[in-house]
Amino acid sequence: MMEQVELRMRHTLTILAVLLVVATTAAGQRRGPRGSGPGGELSPPLAKTEVEKRILAVLNDAVKAGELYANVPASDGRMLRLLAETVNARSVVEIGTSTGLSGLWFCLALEKTGGRLTTFEIDPGRAATAMAHFKKAGVDRLVTLVQGDAHQTIARLKDPIDIVFVDADKEGYVDYLNKLLPLVRPGGLIIAHNIDSAPDYLTAVTTNPDLETVLPAQAGNGMAVTLKKR
Ligand SMILES: C[S@@+](CC[C@H](N)C(=O)[O-])C[C@H]1O[C@@H](n2cnc3c(N)ncnc32)[C@H](O)[C@@H]1O
Protein backbone atom coordinates (compact mmCIF):
# COMPACT_ATOMS: atom_id res chain seq x y z
CA MET A 1 0.00 0.00 0.00
CA MET A 2 2.75 2.42 1.09
CA GLU A 3 4.71 1.44 -2.01
CA GLN A 4 1.76 2.32 -4.28
CA VAL A 5 1.35 5.76 -2.67
CA GLU A 6 5.07 6.41 -3.02
CA LEU A 7 4.97 5.33 -6.69
CA ARG A 8 1.99 7.59 -7.41
CA MET A 9 3.72 10.53 -5.71
CA ARG A 10 6.89 9.96 -7.71
CA HIS A 11 4.81 9.78 -10.92
CA THR A 12 3.07 13.06 -10.09
CA LEU A 13 6.39 14.75 -9.31
CA THR A 14 7.85 13.57 -12.63
CA ILE A 15 4.87 15.01 -14.53
CA LEU A 16 5.22 18.32 -12.68
CA ALA A 17 8.95 18.47 -13.47
CA VAL A 18 8.31 17.81 -17.19
CA LEU A 19 5.59 20.49 -17.28
CA LEU A 20 7.98 22.97 -15.65
CA VAL A 21 10.74 22.26 -18.19
CA VAL A 22 8.29 22.59 -21.12
CA ALA A 23 6.90 25.87 -19.79
CA THR A 24 10.38 27.32 -19.17
CA THR A 25 11.62 26.28 -22.60
CA ALA A 26 8.55 27.69 -24.34
CA ALA A 27 8.98 31.01 -22.50
CA GLY A 28 12.66 31.07 -23.44
CA GLN A 29 11.85 30.41 -27.09
CA ARG A 30 9.29 33.22 -27.10
CA ARG A 31 11.93 35.61 -25.72
CA GLY A 32 14.74 34.35 -27.95
CA PRO A 33 18.40 34.22 -26.91
CA ARG A 34 18.95 36.94 -24.31
CA GLY A 35 21.64 39.42 -25.18
CA SER A 36 23.04 37.40 -28.04
CA GLY A 37 23.65 38.63 -31.57
CA PRO A 38 23.03 42.16 -32.73
CA GLY A 39 19.41 42.24 -31.57
CA GLY A 40 19.45 41.04 -27.99
CA GLU A 41 16.11 39.54 -26.99
CA LEU A 42 14.21 41.56 -29.60
CA SER A 43 14.28 41.23 -33.35
CA PRO A 44 17.55 42.70 -34.72
CA PRO A 45 17.76 46.49 -35.09
CA LEU A 46 16.73 47.66 -38.54
CA ALA A 47 19.17 49.93 -40.36
CA LYS A 48 17.63 53.12 -41.68
CA THR A 49 20.79 54.45 -43.33
CA GLU A 50 23.95 53.04 -44.94
CA VAL A 51 25.97 54.29 -41.95
CA GLU A 52 23.75 52.37 -39.53
CA LYS A 53 24.02 49.31 -41.75
CA ARG A 54 27.82 49.49 -41.69
CA ILE A 55 28.04 49.92 -37.89
CA LEU A 56 25.60 47.06 -37.28
CA ALA A 57 27.56 44.85 -39.69
CA VAL A 58 30.80 45.51 -37.79
CA LEU A 59 29.04 44.67 -34.49
CA ASN A 60 27.74 41.47 -36.03
CA ASP A 61 31.13 40.51 -37.48
CA ALA A 62 32.93 41.20 -34.19
CA VAL A 63 30.53 38.85 -32.36
CA LYS A 64 30.92 36.16 -35.04
CA ALA A 65 34.73 36.48 -35.02
CA GLY A 66 34.84 36.39 -31.21
CA GLU A 67 36.66 39.74 -31.06
CA LEU A 68 35.14 40.26 -27.66
CA TYR A 69 36.02 40.93 -24.05
CA ALA A 70 33.27 41.45 -21.47
CA ASN A 71 31.27 43.61 -23.89
CA VAL A 72 27.74 44.79 -23.20
CA PRO A 73 25.05 42.46 -24.51
CA ALA A 74 23.15 43.79 -27.50
CA SER A 75 20.12 44.61 -25.36
CA ASP A 76 22.23 47.03 -23.28
CA GLY A 77 23.97 48.39 -26.38
CA ARG A 78 20.61 49.27 -27.89
CA MET A 79 19.66 51.03 -24.67
CA LEU A 80 22.91 53.06 -24.74
CA ARG A 81 22.19 54.16 -28.30
CA LEU A 82 18.61 55.04 -27.46
CA LEU A 83 19.61 57.11 -24.39
CA ALA A 84 22.37 58.93 -26.28
CA GLU A 85 20.07 59.83 -29.13
CA THR A 86 17.28 60.84 -26.72
CA VAL A 87 19.44 63.33 -24.79
CA ASN A 88 20.90 64.51 -28.11
CA ALA A 89 24.36 63.70 -26.78
CA ARG A 90 27.20 65.78 -28.20
CA SER A 91 29.79 64.45 -25.79
CA VAL A 92 29.90 60.87 -24.52
CA VAL A 93 32.69 59.66 -22.22
CA GLU A 94 33.21 55.94 -21.79
CA ILE A 95 35.43 54.31 -19.17
CA GLY A 96 36.34 50.81 -20.39
CA THR A 97 36.44 50.56 -24.20
CA SER A 98 37.32 46.87 -24.42
CA THR A 99 37.06 45.90 -28.12
CA GLY A 100 34.74 48.80 -28.89
CA LEU A 101 31.28 47.25 -29.00
CA SER A 102 29.53 49.66 -26.63
CA GLY A 103 31.41 52.45 -28.43
CA LEU A 104 29.89 51.30 -31.73
CA TRP A 105 26.41 51.31 -30.18
CA PHE A 106 27.02 54.90 -29.02
CA CYS A 107 28.26 55.82 -32.50
CA LEU A 108 24.87 54.82 -33.95
CA ALA A 109 23.49 57.78 -31.97
CA LEU A 110 26.46 60.12 -32.36
CA GLU A 111 26.22 59.86 -36.15
CA LYS A 112 22.77 61.46 -35.81
CA THR A 113 23.50 63.96 -33.01
CA GLY A 114 26.80 65.21 -34.42
CA GLY A 115 28.46 64.19 -31.17
CA ARG A 116 31.76 62.57 -30.22
CA LEU A 117 32.90 59.68 -28.04
CA THR A 118 35.98 59.84 -25.82
CA THR A 119 36.72 56.35 -24.59
CA PHE A 120 39.38 55.12 -22.14
CA GLU A 121 41.07 51.70 -22.12
CA ILE A 122 44.04 50.40 -20.14
CA ASP A 123 44.77 47.31 -22.26
CA PRO A 124 46.76 48.08 -25.45
CA GLY A 125 45.59 44.96 -27.34
CA ARG A 126 41.91 45.65 -26.73
CA ALA A 127 42.42 49.33 -27.54
CA ALA A 128 43.94 48.35 -30.92
CA THR A 129 41.07 45.97 -31.70
CA ALA A 130 38.54 48.66 -30.79
CA MET A 131 40.24 51.20 -33.05
CA ALA A 132 40.18 48.66 -35.90
CA HIS A 133 36.44 48.19 -35.35
CA PHE A 134 35.81 51.96 -35.32
CA LYS A 135 37.80 52.33 -38.57
CA LYS A 136 36.01 49.43 -40.25
CA ALA A 137 32.67 50.98 -39.30
CA GLY A 138 33.81 54.38 -40.61
CA VAL A 139 33.26 56.09 -37.27
CA ASP A 140 36.89 56.62 -36.16
CA ARG A 141 36.46 60.33 -36.95
CA LEU A 142 33.90 60.46 -34.11
CA VAL A 143 36.09 58.70 -31.55
CA THR A 144 39.05 59.66 -29.38
CA LEU A 145 40.54 56.58 -27.75
CA VAL A 146 42.83 57.24 -24.78
CA GLN A 147 45.01 54.32 -23.77
CA GLY A 148 46.17 54.12 -20.15
CA ASP A 149 44.80 54.03 -16.62
CA ALA A 150 41.58 56.04 -16.76
CA HIS A 151 41.86 57.01 -13.09
CA GLN A 152 44.75 59.23 -14.24
CA THR A 153 43.97 59.93 -17.90
CA ILE A 154 40.45 61.31 -17.35
CA ALA A 155 42.13 64.36 -15.77
CA ARG A 156 42.51 65.63 -19.34
CA LEU A 157 38.70 66.03 -19.64
CA LYS A 158 37.65 69.64 -19.16
CA ASP A 159 34.52 70.18 -21.30
CA PRO A 160 30.88 69.49 -20.36
CA ILE A 161 29.72 65.90 -20.81
CA ASP A 162 26.23 64.70 -21.80
CA ILE A 163 26.72 61.02 -20.94
CA VAL A 164 29.30 59.17 -18.89
CA PHE A 165 29.31 55.40 -19.33
CA VAL A 166 31.26 53.58 -16.61
CA ASP A 167 32.19 50.01 -17.53
CA ALA A 168 35.71 49.30 -16.23
CA ASP A 169 37.23 48.20 -12.87
CA LYS A 170 34.24 47.91 -10.53
CA GLU A 171 36.14 49.05 -7.42
CA GLY A 172 36.95 52.25 -9.31
CA TYR A 173 33.36 53.29 -10.10
CA VAL A 174 33.05 55.73 -7.18
CA ASP A 175 36.36 57.39 -8.09
CA TYR A 176 35.16 57.81 -11.71
CA LEU A 177 31.86 59.24 -10.44
CA ASN A 178 33.57 61.72 -8.11
CA LYS A 179 35.98 62.88 -10.82
CA LEU A 180 33.48 63.18 -13.66
CA LEU A 181 30.21 64.28 -12.02
CA PRO A 182 31.31 67.95 -11.91
CA LEU A 183 31.67 67.86 -15.73
CA VAL A 184 28.28 66.24 -16.43
CA ARG A 185 25.84 68.90 -17.54
CA PRO A 186 22.56 69.28 -15.64
CA GLY A 187 20.13 66.98 -17.45
CA GLY A 188 23.02 64.67 -18.42
CA LEU A 189 23.30 60.98 -17.59
CA ILE A 190 25.77 58.75 -15.81
CA ILE A 191 25.26 55.14 -16.83
CA ALA A 192 27.05 52.32 -15.03
CA HIS A 193 27.26 48.71 -16.14
CA ASN A 194 27.40 45.59 -13.93
CA ILE A 195 26.35 47.56 -10.86
CA ASP A 196 25.68 44.31 -9.00
CA SER A 197 29.46 44.18 -8.60
CA ALA A 198 29.72 47.83 -7.51
CA PRO A 199 27.55 48.24 -4.37
CA ASP A 200 29.47 51.37 -3.21
CA TYR A 201 28.64 53.05 -6.48
CA LEU A 202 24.96 52.25 -6.12
CA THR A 203 24.99 53.75 -2.62
CA ALA A 204 26.77 56.86 -3.93
CA VAL A 205 24.24 57.54 -6.71
CA THR A 206 21.19 56.79 -4.59
CA THR A 207 22.13 58.95 -1.58
CA ASN A 208 22.97 62.15 -3.47
CA PRO A 209 19.95 64.50 -3.77
CA ASP A 210 21.42 65.98 -6.97
CA LEU A 211 20.89 62.63 -8.67
CA GLU A 212 17.98 60.39 -9.66
CA THR A 213 18.77 56.76 -10.44
CA VAL A 214 16.77 53.97 -12.03
CA LEU A 215 17.66 50.36 -12.75
CA PRO A 216 15.91 49.50 -16.03
CA ALA A 217 14.30 46.09 -15.65
CA GLN A 218 15.05 45.11 -19.24
CA ALA A 219 18.78 45.76 -18.99
CA GLY A 220 20.77 42.60 -19.64
CA ASN A 221 23.65 43.08 -17.21
CA GLY A 222 22.56 45.29 -14.32
CA MET A 223 22.61 48.84 -15.59
CA ALA A 224 22.04 51.91 -13.41
CA VAL A 225 20.89 55.04 -15.26
CA THR A 226 21.40 58.23 -13.26
CA LEU A 227 20.11 61.67 -14.15
CA LYS A 228 22.02 64.73 -12.97
CA LYS A 229 19.07 66.92 -12.06
CA ARG A 230 18.68 70.41 -13.50
C1 LIG B 1 33.66 45.32 -19.15
S2 LIG B 1 34.98 45.74 -20.21
C3 LIG B 1 34.30 47.08 -21.15
C4 LIG B 1 33.32 46.62 -22.20
C5 LIG B 1 32.96 47.68 -23.19
N6 LIG B 1 32.38 48.84 -22.54
C7 LIG B 1 31.96 47.14 -24.19
O8 LIG B 1 30.81 46.94 -23.80
O9 LIG B 1 32.33 46.92 -25.35
C10 LIG B 1 36.03 46.56 -19.09
C11 LIG B 1 37.27 47.16 -19.73
O12 LIG B 1 37.80 48.14 -18.82
C13 LIG B 1 39.19 48.12 -18.92
N14 LIG B 1 39.76 48.72 -17.70
C15 LIG B 1 39.86 48.16 -16.47
N16 LIG B 1 40.46 49.01 -15.62
C17 LIG B 1 40.73 50.14 -16.32
C18 LIG B 1 41.34 51.36 -16.01
N19 LIG B 1 41.81 51.62 -14.78
N20 LIG B 1 41.47 52.29 -16.98
C21 LIG B 1 41.00 52.05 -18.23
N22 LIG B 1 40.42 50.90 -18.59
C23 LIG B 1 40.28 49.95 -17.65
C24 LIG B 1 39.52 46.64 -19.08
O25 LIG B 1 40.81 46.48 -19.65
C26 LIG B 1 38.38 46.15 -19.98
O27 LIG B 1 38.75 46.14 -21.34
Residue among 65, 69, 74, 76 at smallest CA distance from 97? 69
The residue whose CB lies within 8 Å of the most ligand 1 atoms, and thus the one to mutate among 55, 58, 63, 95, is 95
- Residue 98: which CATH number? 3.40.50.150
pLDDT tens digits for range 139-172: 999 999 999 999 999 999 999 999 999 999 999 9
How many angstroms from the chain centroid is the CA of residue 129?
Answer: 18
Are 25 and 80 found together in one domain? no
Q: Which pLDDT band, with edges at 50, 70 and 90, does 137 fall under?
A: very high
Q: How many whole angstroms from 65 Cα to the centroid of ligand 1?
A: 20
CB atoms within 10 A of CB 219: 20
Are 54 and 25 found together in one domain? no
Name which of 4-18, 21-35, 41-55, 113-127 the model is least confident about. Answer: 21-35
Amino acid at the residue 131: M
pLDDT of residue 220: 59
Are 106 and 175 found together in one domain? yes
Nearest-angstrom CA–CA distance, 215 and 225: 6
> What is the domain range of residue 58?
50-228
Amino acid at the residue 17: A
pLDDT of residue 114: 98
pLDDT tens digits for range 104-133: 999 999 999 999 999 999 999 999 999 999
Q: How many whole angstroms from 95 Cα to the centroid of ligand 1?
A: 6
Nearest-angstrom CA–CA distance, 21 and 103: 38
The response to whether residue 98 sits with its C-beta less than 6 Å from ligand 1 reads yes
Are 9 and 95 found together in one domain? no
Structural domain includes residue 96: yes
Contact 229, 186 (CB under 8 A): yes
pLDDT tens digits for range 78-102: 999 999 999 999 999 999 999 999 9
Structural domain includes residue 45: no
Which of 2-11, 151-160, 220-229 holds the top average pLDDT?
A: 151-160
Per-residue pLDDT at 5 exceeds 60: no
pLDDT tens digits for range 58-67: 999 999 999 9
Are 115 and 206 found together in one domain? yes
Atom of ligand 1 lying closest to residue 77 CA? 8
Which backbone phi and psi does 191 adopt, to 5 degrees? Answer: -115, 130
- The CA-based angle 189-124-147, given to 5 degrees, is 45
Q: Which pLDDT band, with edges at 50, 70 and 90, does 219 fall under?
A: low
Are 11 and 115 found together in one domain? no
DSSP assignment of 64-130: HHT--SSPPPHHHHHHHHHHHHHTT-SEEEEE--TTSHHHHHHHHHHHHHT-EEEEEES-HHHHHHH
H helices present in 93-229, as ranges:
101-113, 124-136, 150-153, 173-180, 199-206
Atom of ligand 1 lying closest to residue 104 CA? 9
- The CA-based angle 6-12-13, given to 5 degrees, is 90
pLDDT tens digits for range 14-28: 333 332 332 333 333
Which backbone phi and psi does 116 adopt, to 5 degrees? Answer: -135, 155
Are 61 and 25 found together in one domain? no
The response to whether residue 121 sits with its C-beta less than 6 Å from ligand 1 reads yes
Q: How many whole angstroms from 96 Cα to the centroid of ligand 1?
A: 3
Are 82 and 130 found together in one domain? yes
As beta bridge partners, residue 161 has 184
Are 167 and 212 found together in one domain? yes
**Total domains present in the chain:** 2
pLDDT of residue 32: 35
Produce one character per residue of 152-189: b if its CB has 16 or more CB atoms within 10 Å, e if not.
ebbeebeeebbbbbbbbbbebbbbbbebbbebbbeebb
User: What is the model's pTM?
Assistant: 0.84
